[in-house]
Every structure is written in C-alpha cells, then in structure tokens.
Amino acid sequence: MQTGVQLLTGFLLTLPFQQRFTMLGQKMQVVYLATVSAAVLSTALLIAPVGMHRLLFRRHRLETLVTAAHRCAFAGLLLLGVAVTGMTVIIFDAVAGLTAALIAGVAALVLFASFWVALPLALRRTDP
C-alpha cells in the first residue's frame, strides 16, 4: 500500500508541470490542491509507523507503537480515499465534464465507505 500511495502522490505532484494542466478550471484546481494535500498527508501517515518503530525499537513501548500505528493507518486510509476520490473527480471532469465528475466522485466515496467502513463494521459484529 505504501508504494501505491507514494506513486499516487508523485504523480499528483507532477501534474502542474504538464501542458494540459492549465485546462483545469479554478474549481478543479481547488479539487486538485485538496487531492494533493490528502495524498501527501496520507503518505506521511502510512509511512510514519516505520519511523516510529525505528525510534521505539527495544524500548519496551510496543503498546504505544501499536496504538499510534493503528491511528496513523486509519487516518492514512481515510486520506487515501479522499485523494483517490479527488483524482477520480479531476479525471472524469477532464474527460466527460462536471456532471460525470460529480457522479464518479460520489460513486468513489460510496465504494470506499462500503468496503473500508461498512463491511469491516458488519464483519466485526458477526465475529465470534
């Protein structure tokens, strides 16, 4: 997952330097900036447990590390969903227009909410 988030972030960081980036309207540029912000934060949060582990290694802080890593992963996944949704909106806007972009964005949010929140909560209720 870390590699995928890093690739997404790297891709997003190169977009303003592409010739066609100027085709984005002001609203989509705002969506782009929010998407880049979410991707950068997601990258930082999903990689943070590696650094924490290095600093806390052999210091008998396993519970602290696990709790912090869990929180970072949860927040990182949330922001990854926001970033991928934002990219979906930008791409659909460029290819098919604003209406298609909004529909695709809502569909992406529903997809992430279903698989990353609703399904795990449902499975948690059925676990023995």
List the chain pLDDT tens, one digit each, 128 residues: 667 888 888 888 888 888 888 888 999 999 999 999 999 999 999 999 988 888 888 888 888 889 999 999 999 999 999 999 999 999 999 999 999 999 999 999 999 999 999 999 999 888 66
Q: Residue 115 gets which letter from DSSP?
A: I
Token code pair at residue 52: 């924490």
Domain membership of residue 57 as a residue range? 2-126
Number of domains in the chain: 1
| Contact assessment for residue 72 and residue 46, using Cβ atoms and an 8 Å cutoff | yes
User: What is the pTM (predicted TM-score) of this model?
Assistant: 0.85
CA 79, 123, 49: angle at the middle one, nearest 5? 40
**Whole-angstrom Cα distance, residue 19 to residue 22?**
7
Token code pair at residue 36: 């880049």
| Contact assessment for residue 110 and residue 102, using Cβ atoms and an 8 Å cutoff | no
**Whole-angstrom Cα distance, residue 4 to residue 21?**
23
